[in-house]
Amino acid sequence: MPDIKTAIILVHCPDQKGIIVAVGDFILKNGGNVIHLDEHVDAATQTFFMRVEWDLDGFGIATEKISEFFQTLVANRFDMIWRLYFSDAVPRMAIFVSKLSHCLYDLLSRCQSGEWTVEVPLIVSNHPDLESVARGFGIPFHVLPITPENKHEQEQQTFDLLQQHRIDFVVLARYMQVLTEDFVARYPNKIINIHHSFLPAFPGARPYHSAHERGVKVIGATSHYVTTNLDEGPIIEQDVVRVSHEDDVSDLVRKGRDVEKIVLSRAVWNHVRRMVLVCGNRTVVFS
């Protein structure tokens, strides 16, 4: 990845003539150079999706004014829903965990090695088990136990922490709690979960037990944005691994862990590179 500063716009709007030219013109006439442009039209809903990234070097509109100009000159005309990002803004990620460490290690080791440029200001858990993992990476670890009585209070504490640390998005790295509607509503398409099955097969609890009982020959994992419908949010990434009659439930759990961590990390990577657009209950993941 070169060290240039770029702007990224993610857009969707009703499909109509002239969108690409209008956006391209906006960039070109102000001296920008398009580095990537991907578009997709969903034929069924006649929706246009685009991701465009351009080099800001020599761009004629000041960074803090791009939004205003784009809204006025382009977005209004096509009734666009859009977001602007800058490549030098480092996303701030909070990780929620319970007792399992494989996804947590996978996420943190990518941040530490420089594979990802992502800040992790804090880890939240309802159990103390993974505190030493967090300590190994030098990241503050907050234990906020959950009981039937304190659920809302615990979420409020969590939310305060996220606010205080200016968190951009949350990753549920095998966090074994269902978030309330209120909490989810505060982070629309900003909470990424990993479910340990190939959704929509085996939603809910103990999917590996169900997979074993059904006798499937392939198991999988699904990373999706969290919505208020459990395990039904927009899917970002899925993958699978073969299993056989020789695998008992513990083998499925073991093989599944590898898929879970890779699928979750791919989803997070796509999210932080601003590759993902959500429309209805589906995602467009540019490549």
Binding residues vs its own copies (CB under 8 A): 1-2, 17-18, 20-21, 24-25, 28, 33-44, 49, 100-102, 105-106, 109, 112-113, 115, 135-137, 198-202, 214-218, 220, 234-240, 242, 244-246, 248, 250, 254, 257-258, 262, 265, 281-285, 287
Cα–Cα distance list, 264 to 105, 193, 235 (Å): 12, 7, 11
Residue closer to its own copies, measured from CB, 158 or 238: 238
Instruction: Give the SS3 label for residue 112.
Output: helix
| CB of residue 38 to its own copies, shortest distance in Å | 7
| CB of residue 79 to its own copies, shortest distance in Å | 17
Residue closer to its own copies, measured from CB, 126 or 261: 261
Residue closer to its own copies, measured from CB, 130 or 162: 130
| CB of residue 45 to its own copies, shortest distance in Å | 11
Residue closer to its own copies, measured from CB, 152 or 254: 254
Q: How big is the CA angle at 249 (ends 213 and 257), to the nearest 5 degrees? A: 120
| CB of residue 261 to its own copies, shortest distance in Å | 9
* Residue with token string 């083998």: 251
Residue closer to its own copies, measured from CB, 18 or 145: 18
| CB of residue 221 to its own copies, shortest distance in Å | 10
247, amino acid identity: D
Structure tokens at 45: 């809903």
CB within 8 Å of 143: residues ≥ 6 apart: 125, 126, 127, 128, 131
Single out the catalytic residue among 231, 247, 251, 258.
231
Q: How far apart are CA 52 and CA 45, in angstroms?
A: 21
* DSSP states along 65-90: GHHHHHIIIIIHHHT-EEEEEETTSP
Cα–Cα distance list, 101 to 151, 196, 204 (Å): 23, 14, 20
- Residue 231 is a catalytic residue: yes
Please give the positions annotated as active site.
231
